[in-house]
Amino acid sequence: MSASTIERTARTRRSRTRSRTVNARPALVISTLKPHQYDLRPACASLICPDCKTWVPITGLQTHKPKVVPHDTGLANKDASVRCRLGSNRLVTVDVTVKKWQERLEDGNSETVHRRKTTVLRKPKVALAPAVSQIAAQKQAPADDEHGDGRPMWLLREMKWASTESAVRDADTRRAQLPAGAAPLGAPPVPLKKLTPKRRAS
């Protein structure tokens, strides 16, 4: 790999550095991280940087001032070379023993192994109730189409009217005739001509 490629990509994280530079931020307390976010084994002591979310070695784990090594934000030799300014050289407070960390890690694994997928119980879809007008139309449909021969409704209505038209006309004629004795006794006859008032001659 050429030197230009190494300069453009993220550098490999070294497990030990001789830099005395210390980050001014407060020390990162191990107990604030989850068990799967750090590794306290002496051979591969490391943690996930809270700032760039990448695994970073911890140098000086056996000393009184362990710290996170300087590192880039991306994958080594792949991503762009961008230094993690907030997380590099940050002191680490190791307040968890290796045994305690292993117990917490095993307990977390045992809890997740026995988890089961939650079954989603969906509510059955209820059909919408028809409107009152729709119910009335359904009840009237057999009566209107009682012939059942496929003829249109307007034709059936005209045929029914033609069969009853003469009876209706006769009933209207009888209603128009005044029955005998309908006029009051001693009453003046009703004028049949239009009465127009006349002005007096002056």
Per-residue pLDDT of the chain (202 residues; tens, 9 = 90+): 444 444 566 666 666 666 778 888 999 999 999 888 999 888 888 999 988 888 888 888 888 888 998 888 877 667 777 888 888 889 999 999 889 988 888 876 655 555 667 778 888 888 888 887 788 777 765 554 455 567 788 888 888 888 888 888 888 887 776 666 556 666 666 666 777 777 777 6
| Contact present, 94 and 66 (Cβ < 8 Å) | yes
Burial per residue of 49-72, b for 16 or more beta-carbon CB atoms within 10 angstroms, e otherwise: bebbebebbbbebeeeebbbbbbb
pTM for this model (two decimals):
0.46
| Amino acid 29: pLDDT | 92
Question: What phi and psi, each to the nearest 5 degrees, are found at residue 51?
Answer: -90, -45
* Predicted local distance difference test score (pLDDT) of residue 133: 79
pLDDT of residue 14: 66
Per-residue pLDDT, 92: 92
The alpha carbons of the chain give a radius of gyration, in whole angstroms, of 51
Residues paired with residue 105 on neighbouring β-strands, in sequence order: none
Q: Give, in order, the Cα–Cα distances in Å from 168 to each of 98, 165, 175, 186.
A: 107, 5, 11, 35
